[in-house]
Chain A
Amino acid sequence: MHTFEFGRPADAAAAIATAARAKTAQQGADVRFVAGGTTLVDLMKLNVETPGRLIDINRLPLDKIEATADGGLKIGATVRNSDLANNAVVQRDYSVLSQAILAGASAQLRNMATTAGNLLQRTRCMYFRDTAMACNKREPGSGCPAITGANRMLAVLGTSEQCIATNPSDMCVAMAALEATIHVQGAKGSRAIAFGEFHLLPGSTPERETVLEPGDLITHVTLPAPLAGSKQVYLKLRDRASYEFALASAAVVLTMKGETVTGARVALGGVGTKPWRSHEAETALVGQAADAATFRKAAEAALRDAKPQSENGFKIELAKRCLAYALKTAATA
């Protein structure tokens, strides 16, 4: 680990002012906000991230879960994953979020990890995490050995010639399906970012993972008012029962009238370079009978553009089954 400065600003404005001096808010940033540290400190130990300055935001007043005026929910940036998953309102109205968080990491990590930190979780691609290897995400232009190498865990959706790294978050998959909004305070004021626009596809700039600019501080996330009578399921397939990233996961929020699907929001995890909202699957579901054939069609639609690499082709079939299984579970819940 490299040496770094550590500061604890008095308020958000001071934090933002310090961070705004950085050249980037993306990979290679020399200034980083730190909250739970469960991703960042790990990557600093591996020298994958080498910030010169850490800004501790744990003491900023960003740790509340509150109702919003329009019947939704406001979740502070430093709300711990455990607290969010176990919040009574979340469990009742946004259970897919609770399920997703509890499907990730370990109890100890969830006690530390925060909402904003989870939004910024980095990939577990082993080339990214190994500084002896080339990696376009870590060192732009150095190449992507994963494409011809060990890519079993890597993405099949949203990949590019430059990067096939998987977004590892479970929480984000649920938030994508819940149509969350991310609220940012930055050097130029505040703004709200729709969840689907927050993460970027790797394209030719895999080092850029989000739309954040230097100084941007995520203050909170809002969820819209819950859909009345919605059925929510998060299903995660992984190599072991606990403490393991997804091979494939699916978050589904369904509304039904009788045996017909009237509304559907679907997102996939473990298979995309970003949390993968599937409008294709949703279109294939709405207005259709809630049966196995529909669910399989929706799953086929969700993975239609999937591109397998040498070792991860099985994830396409696994993701289809995962989504179909999640839809069936939700429909019969």
Chain B
Amino acid sequence: MPAGADLPRIDGLDKLAGRAAYVDDLPTPGAWHGATVRSSVPRGKIRDIHFDPAFDWNDITIVDHRDIPGPNQLKLIDVDQPVLAAGEVRHKHEPILLLAHPSVHKLRDALRAIRVDVEPLPAILDPAAPLTPDLIQYKSDNVLKHIDIRQGDPGPVFARAAHIIEGEYVTGSQEHVYLETQGMLAQWQDGRLTVRGSMQCPYYVLDALTHLFGRSRDAFRVIQSPVGGGFGGKEEYPSLLAIHAALLAEKSGAPVKMIYDRQEDMAVTTKRHPSRTRHRTALDKDGRLLAMEIDVLLDGGAYVTLSPVVLSRGCIHAAGPYFCENIHIRGEARLTNSPPYGAFRGFGAPQTIFAIERHMDVIAARIGIDPVELRRRNLVRTGQPLATGQIYKEPTDLPALMDRALDLAQYKARTQSHAEFNKSHPFLRRGIGFATFHHGAGFTGGGETYLASEVWIEGKPDGTVELQTAQTDMGQGTTTILTQVVAERLGIPTEQVRVATPDTSRVPNSGPTVASRTAMVVGKLIEQACDDLLHQLGRKSGDPEISDDIRRHASLPGKSLVGRAKYQKPASIQWDDKTYRGDAYATYSWATYVADVEVDLRTCRVRVTDFVALQEVGRVLNTTLATGQIAGGVVQGIGWALYENVVLEDGAMKNCQMTNYVIPSAGDLPPIRVVFEERPSHWGPGGAKGIGELPMDGPAPAIVNAISRAVTTTINEIPVTPELLLKATEGRGHG
């Protein structure tokens, strides 16, 4: 079956039938359970740890920071985060001790028999709060990362601008709510550790283990078990959990399973970075962008983790898909004593795109120009640079893409009919709003070069091929898509393609499954590996003899038949990480999303009544999966815009149960019309580009633009809860 022909999900039936074995389902005779003793305060000095003498501690394995064989560091971008607190805690729920025991019940009793004495230290819980010396915990200023993107010179332009418009836009955190909570199983055997679990990035876990245990890579084997959703939440956190399980397994001598329940998972794992973005924009009298000053502030939480790169993606997208000669974007991720914020679908871009797309509507309203017209005048065109100086060379006519989406949504007609409706209805208000945006596919800047991803495709004696990559399927369809890519490139039926389970002892490091890079970047490498295999066989794609050739070659004693490919930076991509100038991404996906809403002024309830998601994503490899991924992202975006409110107490999520963290239900969702404009791109396999994160970017600004128009007020903050709306429409809802 060729690509684009909607191969059914290869993993689908097993998951539907309950046959897929997630980490908690793995048979593990003799396994112990692991648990974590955590900080109850956002910051403090650990004075003492009391173990209740009345409790029998004999058969409980207890691990603290002194049991760590190598450096007590979680290796990521920086090494500032300890895997177990030693002396000082920097956030609520920070791990201090680990316990293991064969009985869950005894383990729970043991947790209750431990009291950690912490002397509280001053904590900083708001990244914008003024700094006093006693609050400084990272370098000299708590700034985890600073980014400057400069183009032209905005300063002098403001003096001659016809309009100067300012705005501040605030987004809240967001919890991933993957169906399967985090879990890891660690087992030492003959001095070698095997870790299985729920993860997006097996090689990140391997690196973290290698660093912490101070042993060579051969000592570790990391295997991905079926993953019930990730959305970025299983990018960096699984490394910490794998280390915890491994430490307990080493000390106890038993296999150790650590499975978080929902409450622990929500309370302690990473979430989307809260943000505050300020815009100051100069325009000429016709609404052309003359200069943009943008300040992006992210709350990074207590350690560096991935905040620098989240900030980077956020800043690069902060000026939107617009042409402006003079831009200055200043970004900062600052430390707070919250649990570290981390990767979440969109990776900083949803925050800054919410800001710029709300700001465009604010500008339109303030200078009295149609928001469609404002965007039409400023959308980037062939030969013009984006904020980092990257020249727009893509085939897509962005104003035409916008017009198509607006037509699909009957934007003009509805704008008019809503105006009529709002004049006559006593308490319902309707509005239609939209956002035009883009999302870079793959790692930022030099990231792909640094990763140097590698993929293998191995011919088997039975005539089939096995694809070997570290790419994980967490429900988004990786296995299916990559099978299609191989089948299409080799010209063989999909039934003759198998995809190896990501297992660091068997598959090469093809990089993490993040950043909308799998289908596009790794997919392209797979095409090259297929070509290498064909070359070794002396065959062309689709030759009927391929299977027989593979069978023969692979059966030769002592021989193996492996097609290989390794990422090489294309010469056309130029990026300077110091100046933040150049080609930030090989390519982008482009989109216009349109939301129709109805607001009840009396009850302050918002209903999204219709949604159009139009995107140009290169060629679509599998329409069913792509449509599902876009629709799912839109739902997650609707949740972030209207429902999902992470309530912080002492810097940590307080509403960490599904009964009090509200995600949208099926009853809250409009029809979501997913439409693709297909323009094959030479960057991805079969012309594909990345799509995983894109749909997270557009819904929030489109919805809030629609609400703001419906109730003729300016709302610059999400989530738009009933109380926020009540305040914004005060006095207008007495029914």
Q: Are A129 and B657 in contact, CB atoms less than 8 angstroms apart? A: yes
Q: Does B734 contact A (CB under 8 A)?
A: yes
Q: CA separation between A243 and B664, bound complex, in Å?
A: 10
Residues of A within 8 A of B607 (CB): 241
Q: Is B602 an interface residue (CB 8 A)?
A: yes
Contact of A112 with B by CB under 8 A: no
Q: In this assembly, does B659 line the interface, its C-beta being within 8 Å of a C-beta of chain A?
A: yes
Q: Which residues of B contact A3 (CB under 8 A)?
A: 105
| Interface residue ranges of A106-151 to B (CB < 8 Å) | 124, 126, 129-130, 132, 149-150
How far apart sit A130 and B654, CA to CA, in the bound complex (Å)?
A: 10
Say yes or no: A314-B665 contact (C-beta < 8 A), given A126-B657, A150-B655, A239-B643: no
Q: Is the CB of A318 within 8 A of B604?
A: yes
Given known A-B contacts A129-B659, A243-B665, A244-B662, A152 and B647 have beta carbons under 8 A apart: yes
Q: Are A317 and B726 in touch, CB under 8 angstroms? A: yes
Q: Binary interface profile of A, 312-333, with partner B (CB < 8 Å = 1, else 0)? A: 0010011001101100100000
Give the residues in chain B near A296, CB-CB below 8 Å: 734
Query: What's the least CB distance linking A312 to chain B, in Å?
Result: 9
A240 at the binding interface (Cβ < 8 Å): yes
Is there a chain A Cβ closer than 8 Å to B660's Cβ? yes
What is the bound-complex CA distance between A153 and B659, given in angstroms? Answer: 11
B722 and A318 form a contact (CB under 8 A): yes
A124 near B660 with CB under 8 A, answer: yes
Which single residue of chain A is at the shortest CB-CB distance from B725? Answer: A314
Q: Is the CB of B660 within 8 A of A126?
A: yes
Interface residues of chain B: helix, strand, loop or mixed (majority): loop
CB distance A240 to B643 under 8 Å?
Answer: yes
Q: Decide if A227 is an interface residue (CB 8 Å cutoff).
A: no
Contact code string B634-670 (vs A, CB < 8 Å = 1, else 0): 0000000001000101000011010110101111100
A242 CB-CB contact with B under 8 Å: yes
Establish whether residues A126 and B654, one from each chain, have CB atoms under 8 Å apart when the complex forms. Answer: yes
CB contact under 8 A between A240 and B665, given known A150-B655, A317-B726, A321-B734 = yes
Question: What band does the interface of chain B fall in when counting residues whose beta carbon is under 8 Å from A?
Answer: 20 to 34
Within 8 A of A (CB), among B681-735: 721-723, 726-727, 733-735
Answer whether residue B541 sits at the interface, using C-beta atoms and an 8 A cutoff: no
Smallest CB separation, A269 vs chain B (Å) = 14
Q: Decide if A328 touches B735 in the complex (CB within 8 Å).
A: yes
Of A126, A240, A245, A321, which contacts B603 at CB under 8 A?
A321
A150 to B721, CA, bound (A): 15
Cross-interface CB contact of A240 among B655, B660, B664, B735, cutoff 8 Å: B664
Give min CB distance, A239 to chain B, whole Å. Answer: 5
How far apart are the CA atoms of A60 and B649 in the complex, in Å? 45
* Per-residue A-contact encoding for B95-115, CB less than 8 Å = 1, 0 else: 000000000010010000000
CB contact under 8 A between A153 and B726, given known A241-B668, A328-B735: no
What is the bound-complex CA distance between A152 and B605, given in angstroms?
A: 16
The answer to whether the Cβ of A156 comes within 8 Å of any Cβ in the partner chain is no
Residue B263 CB within 8 A of the other chain: yes
Compute how far the CA of A244 lies from the CA of B649 in the bound complex, rounded to whole angstroms: 22
Which of A129, A241, A328 sits near B665, CB closer than 8 Å?
A: A241
Mask, A81-109, CB within 8 Å of B = 1, is 00000000000000000000000000000
Inter-chain contact B726/A314, CB cutoff 8 Å? yes
Closest to A322 in B: B603
Q: Complex: how many Å from CA A153 to CA B327?
A: 43
Give CA–CA (A325, B602) in the complex, Å: 8
Complex contacts, B664 vs chain A, CB 8 Å: 240
Does residue B40 face the partner (Cβ distance < 8 Å to A)? yes
Minimum CB–CB distance for A130 against chain B, Å: 7
20 A–B contacts, CB within 8 A, in A order: A3-B105, A47-B108, A126-B655, A129-B657, A130-B263, A150-B655, A152-B647, A152-B723, A153-B660, A239-B721, A239-B722, A242-B666, A242-B668, A243-B667, A244-B662, A292-B735, A314-B726, A321-B603, A322-B603, A325-B603
- List 3 tightest A-B contacts by C-beta distance, closest first: A241-B667, A314-B723, A242-B667
What would 6 more interface pairs be, CB under 8 Å, given A126-B654, A243-B667, A318-B726?
Answer: A152-B647, A240-B662, A240-B665, A241-B668, A314-B726, A321-B603
